[in-house]
Amino acid sequence: MDLLEKDIQQGIIFLKGEERVFSAPSYDHLFRFTNEALSLYYQDLKIKGSKVLTVTGSGDHLLQAVLNGAKEITAFDQNRFTYYYTLLKIAAIQGLDYLPFKLYFDAFSPLEFSHRIFDTFKDYLPNDAYQFWEAMYKAGFEKQNIYLIGPGINANIGENTYLEEEHFRTLKTRIHNVSYRFIDSRLEKLSSFLSSQDKYDTVLLSNIFDWLGTDLNPYLEKNYIALIKKEIEPHMVEEGKCVLYASPCNLTVSCFSFAEIDSNIQKKVYPNAYYTNSEAVYTYTKK
C-alpha cells in the first residue's frame, strides 16, 4: 500500500466515526480555521519577500503568510490530513470567488463542503490531493465531514484576515506566485528534513507546544529554548523571528500563574510577549 492509499484508508476510517488506532500518530482530526488572532501579530513581522517556515495545521498560517507577501513557504506537520486540507483551501482560493469560498468552508452554510462547489475548483488540486478528496466524497464526506474536520467555531475568526473579502481578493492574486514545500514531521525531528541551505526569516510554530507535553512547553524555559536552539535556530537567518502562540490554561503547569510567567519568563526570553484573548504570543529572536 502506497502513502496515498494509506491516507485515503485512514480518512475513510475517520469519516465513518470508527474507533481509530492511536498508535499511528500521523493522522488526526483537522481544525477548520486557526483559533489564533493572526492579524494581531503578523503586523509586527517582516514577511514581505521572505522565506517562512510554518506549522501546516489548518493552512491559515500559510495563507496569512502569502497574504503578507511571503515568496517561499515550508510547512510541516505530523498530521498527514493537514497536507490535503491546506491544498484544498489553496485550490478553492484559486478557483472560487469570495462568496462560494465562504459558503463552502462555513460550518453554518447549507453548501458546507458541497460536492457541487468542489467540482468547480477541483482542477486546481494536484493529482494526489484530488484523489484523496474525491475518495472522501465517495465515502460520504459531504454529510459526515464533522468526523474529519471540526466546525471551527471560535472568537478569533474575525482576526483571520484572508476571510475578509478585500484581503481574500489580494490573496487570490498572490497565491500563484508563491512556492510551497510540505514536510511530514514532528517538531522534534524537523531539522533532519532541512538542509544547511534552508534558512528562514520567520518561523511560525502556532500552538504546537500545547500538544507536545509539559516537558516541552514555553513555561519550562530551559527545555523549550533547548529545543528551539537545536531544531529551529540553525535554520533561521540573523535577527530571524520564531513566533509561538500558547495558552497556559491548555498546559498542566499548575506551578505557574500568569503573573509569574509574565515576570519570570516573558521578560527574560520573550521581551515582546503579549496577551491576546487570554492567550500569549511569544517571539524568540536569533541573535
Give 135-174 pLDDT, tens digit per residue. Answer: 999 999 999 998 999 876 554 555 688 999 999 999 999 9
C-alpha distances in Å from residue 84, one per residue of 11, 35, 62, 87, 282: 11, 20, 13, 5, 29
Identify whether the C-beta of residue 112 lies closer than 8 Å to the C-beta of residue 145. Answer: yes
Separation CA 235–CA 196 (nearest Å): 7
pLDDT of the residue at 256: 44
pLDDT of the residue at 108: 85
pLDDT of the residue at 173: 96
Which residue, 178, 22, 173, 208, is CA-closest to 93? Answer: 173
pLDDT of the residue at 152: 62
What torsion do the CA atoms of 29, 30, 35, 40 make, to the nearest 10 degrees? 140
Bridge partners of 52? Answer: 73, 202
State which amino acid sits at residue 155: A
Residue in this structure with the C-alpha cell 492509499, named with its chain if needed = 5
pLDDT of the residue at 276: 54
Which parts of the chain fold into alpha helices (H)?
3-15, 38-42, 60-67, 80-95, 98-105, 115-121, 127-138, 141-144, 165-174, 221-227, 258-260, 267-269
pTM higher than 0.85: yes
pLDDT of the residue at 45: 85
Separation CA 96–CA 110 (nearest Å): 17
CB atoms inside a 10 Å sphere around CB 44: 12
Which residue ranges in the chain fall short of pLDDT 50? Answer: 23, 155, 216, 218-220, 249-258, 260-261, 263-265
pLDDT of the residue at 275: 53
CB atoms inside a 10 Å sphere around CB 147: 16
Report residue 69 as a C-alpha cell: 507577501
pLDDT of the residue at 85: 98
Which residue, 250, 246, 243, 251, is CA-closest to 272? Answer: 243
pLDDT of the residue at 223: 67
pLDDT of the residue at 175: 95
3-state secondary structure at position 243: strand
Separation CA 61–CA 209 (nearest Å): 16
pLDDT of the residue at 20: 60
Cβ-proximal residues to 277 (8 Å cutoff; 6+ apart), any chain: 37, 155, 156
pLDDT of the residue at 243: 86
Phi-psi region of 281 (alpha: psi -120 to 50; beta: other; left: phi over 0): beta
